[in-house]
Amino acid sequence: MSVLGRTDYILMRVARWLVLCAVVIAPWLFGAAETWACLFVCICVGLGGILWLFSLSCSRDPRIVEGGVFLAAAVFMLYVVLQTIPLPDWIVGLLSPSSAVVQKESFDLLSRFGVLEFAAGSDVDRSWLSLSVAPSATGGAATVLLACAVTLIVTLNTVTRWRHVAQCLGVLVFSGFLLAAAGIVHKLSGSDALFWFHHPRYGGTFMGSFSNRNHFAAYLNVMLGLAAGFFMAIWRTQEREGMPEKWRDRLLWFSTENMSRLVLVGFSILVMASAIVISLSRGAIAALAAAIAVVFAFGVRSRRSAFAAALIAAASVLMVMWLGWEPVAARLGTIAGLARDPMANSRAIASWSALMLYGLSPVVGWGFGTFRHVFPMFQVSDLFHGRFLHAHNDWLQLLAEGGLVGALLFFAVVAALGWPAVRWFRQAGPRGRAIAGGICLGLAAMAIHSFVDYALRKPACSLLVSMSAGLCLAALRISARHGHPEMLVEEGGAQENAGAHAGGCRPAGRKAALRVAAAALLAVILGMMLLHLEEFRGALASARLLHLSRMAEKSPDRAAFCQTVADGVEEMRRMIRYSPGDSDALKDAVATGLRWISDARLDQRPELRGLIAEHCLKAAVLSVRSAPSDYLSWLWLGRTFVSMGQWDEAEQCLGRARELVYVPDMVRLLSVPR
């Protein structure tokens, strides 16, 4: 192997492992739901993408596996980025009139207050608006979507041998087993904190490392599909070898490497299935049952395979009965009550409201990642018991945020994946079909569950789905070409037999164009990573501020309280500098600061009150600028004005907040927002 070929081999191997490690670590970082964890995982994925693009741009014969998938993902990402770019107001008014009105009215009101100098980008011309009503939130969503696209493309292009498939599946299944076991122990312990120590910003029904048991179960559904595919692939290999006739030989047969792996993977499936049931997630359990029915109806042809699956299902039932079946039975029994009047359920009402939200901007949507900032416009009184961060229906939220254009482009990516998968499936051998069938089981369960939940909005879940899709296509492709060694992609991915492509060697011009495209994408991802490094600092400052606010509540004396507040003011300054677009974190900072201002223990350091008030005003204005459609941003700006004695401005902020909600009387200026 030449020096260049060896370099390609190392770069692609490191890229594959970087992406795999990021996908594995994401659920352990509390589902990567918090900003700092999400950015950390996305940066790791970005490093993997950079290494793969670098190897591609330096290769003598650059190739991209399934270029249609790459092209569809690129077009979808360009559309998401387009939502954040300032455009002439007449274009935005034509495509998304509601978004244009909200942005203009926000700009005018802040101008009357004379506080635009506190906002980042205050010199922006009013005649230039973005399709997204909250460009910063859409930028955050674009980061996660780009990480998913990079995970998919890198997996598809670097997993080129059965050894790679087995390595990825082994690592993922082992991580899933540990996560399921930890979730079971956590659930039975009754802890009210993630992993017994972490209290996230938003509460929920905790299980394991996830703040929502439904998302924990949805994640394990996909992981269960990976494990099932791995199990069936090993089982098919053993079927080919045949079972010994004598009992003594059969016992010795279990000591072989393949059978030992089969037993371990089977036990992992047992633990994962038990964890899904013990989570008491009705949607996840029903989705898994429906997906299993579909896969068995169309995919299972071997009696031994059906027997193995039935054996694992029976063992899972027995394990759940041993751990405690009464809560499971009681939880599943509530499904009958929902069936009597399904439209009275809060999730059905939220889905209908999300559909109405889509009707206001049907072409281009409100912008990816903006649902939490615009949903109160249609949040009826029956739903005003809390803040909806996401619709309980991923598909309707896709329509509301991306519009018809975004939905069509997303399903174009799905079609670009499905078409080669069907083509390779027809040519694949038993192992490839077994792995693809298991992965499709997990993906189908996630797709069905997404009709009643929003697990795909958790970065850990979306990254796992992306890697699963890449592994599925890679396994089918390898299996289809297994009988033609000359058509297999070499380890470095730099060479492939010309017979694998019609037309022989590719023209030098096309190779040069591919290298240029790879270099351009490399520059884009590298630039985004550098930008997000500063945002990562702001996210860490937000996490530290949350910790300091809890410390301040428990401070034993005035001196300790004042010192904690002084440290918190420094963290607020860092947030304003490095994360001016994180509207939710800025609102939390304002709430913390106003609480500290009114605390009598701060009388010992009166100068801190002035600093806190200044930072609160800056943070509140930035929050409004980054999410002008969010009534909570206006409400906290009004409360900041109250603390400064500016009652007229506060009253106007209250009026604006009430204009942005469906039930105005539910909004109060001097009470905690519901």
CA distance 531 to 547: 25
- The band of 328, judged by pLDDT with boundaries at 50, 70 and 90, is low
Looking at the structure, do residues 450 and 579 belong to the same domain, yes or no? no
Looking at the structure, do residues 454 and 575 belong to the same domain, yes or no? no
Say if CB 478 and CB 491 are below 8 A apart.
Answer: no
| Residue at which a domain ends, from 436, 471, 491 | 491
CA distance 633 to 650: 12
CA distance 157 to 138: 28
Looking at the structure, do residues 539 and 435 belong to the same domain, yes or no? no
Per cent of the chain over pLDDT 70 is 82
412-443 pLDDT, tens digit per residue, is: 999 999 999 999 988 888 888 889 989 999 99
Q: 552 lies in a domain?
A: yes
State the chain's maximal CA–CA distance in angstroms: 91
Looking at the structure, do residues 578 and 466 belong to the same domain, yes or no? no
Looking at the structure, do residues 140 and 254 belong to the same domain, yes or no? yes
Domain that holds residue 549: 534-666
pLDDT given for residue 196 in this prediction:
85
- The band of 586, judged by pLDDT with boundaries at 50, 70 and 90, is very high
- The band of 324, judged by pLDDT with boundaries at 50, 70 and 90, is low
Number of domains in the chain: 2
Q: 80 lies in a domain?
A: no
pLDDT at residue 285 tops 80:
yes
CA distance 209 to 34: 12
Element spanning 465, H or E: helix 459-480
pLDDT at residue 30 tops 90:
yes
Looking at the structure, do residues 259 and 390 belong to the same domain, yes or no? yes
Looking at the structure, do residues 164 and 288 belong to the same domain, yes or no? yes
- Nearest CA among 405, 382, 361, 395 for reference residue 629: 361
442-460 pLDDT, tens digit per residue, is: 999 999 999 989 999 999 9
- The band of 337, judged by pLDDT with boundaries at 50, 70 and 90, is low
CA distance 273 to 123: 55
| Residue at which a domain ends, from 491, 525, 551 | 491
Looking at the structure, do residues 404 and 324 belong to the same domain, yes or no? yes
Instruction: Name residues whose C-beta falls within 8 Å of residue 414's C-beta, 6 or more positions apart in sequence.
Output: none
pLDDT given for residue 61 in this prediction:
74
pLDDT given for residue 301 in this prediction:
54
| Residue at which a domain ends, from 466, 491, 516 | 491
Q: 21 lies in a domain?
A: no
Q: 84 lies in a domain?
A: no
Looking at the structure, do residues 572 and 652 belong to the same domain, yes or no? yes
CA distance 264 to 515: 43
Looking at the structure, do residues 483 and 539 belong to the same domain, yes or no? no
pLDDT given for residue 495 in this prediction:
37
pLDDT given for residue 57 in this prediction:
80
Q: 269 lies in a domain?
A: yes
Q: 231 lies in a domain?
A: yes
Q: What is the CATH number of the domain that holds 612?
A: 1.25.40.10
CA distance 36 to 542: 9
Tokens of 73: 């993902």
pLDDT given for residue 64 in this prediction:
83
CA distance 266 to 312: 7
Looking at the structure, do residues 420 and 553 belong to the same domain, yes or no? no
Tokens of 222: 């996909």
Q: 296 lies in a domain?
A: yes
Q: 464 lies in a domain?
A: yes
DSSP letters along 545-578, please? HHHHHHHHHT-SSHHHHHHHHHHHHHHHHHHHHH
- The band of 511, judged by pLDDT with boundaries at 50, 70 and 90, is low
Looking at the structure, do residues 485 and 558 belong to the same domain, yes or no? no
